[in-house]
Amino acid sequence: MSKGFRHGVGFVIAFVIGCASAPLVVPAISAQPAPPGVQRWEYSCYRDASGLNMEQMNQYGAQGWELVGPRDQGAELCFKRPM
């Protein structure tokens, strides 16, 4: 066997062992409440953004909503504000 082949086989074995042991090493992630002092947000998205005019958007701004950006190729606008 060539040296390159042995290195390749060794790499494959190490890769397989690493992948098999990853679930044992990495702890599960769970949703937790935000720690004190971390800003939390609420979101609101409008599917038919073509119906929103500038006056309506200014009213949302006066209520504390901030335009986050368009989604779905601009067909939907999303806003956020502090909770």
Q: pTM score, two decimals? A: 0.50
Residue range of the domain that includes 69:
3-30+37-82
Residue 4 CA: distances (Å) to CA of 1, 31, 43, 57: 8, 45, 55, 64
The count of structural domains within the chain is 1
Q: Quote the distance between the C-alpha of residue 44 and its chain's center.
A: 16
- List, for the chain, all residue ranges whose pLDDT scores fall below the cut of 70: 1, 7, 11, 16, 18-31, 72, 74
Beta-ladder partners of 10: none
Structure confidence at residue 63 (pLDDT):
93
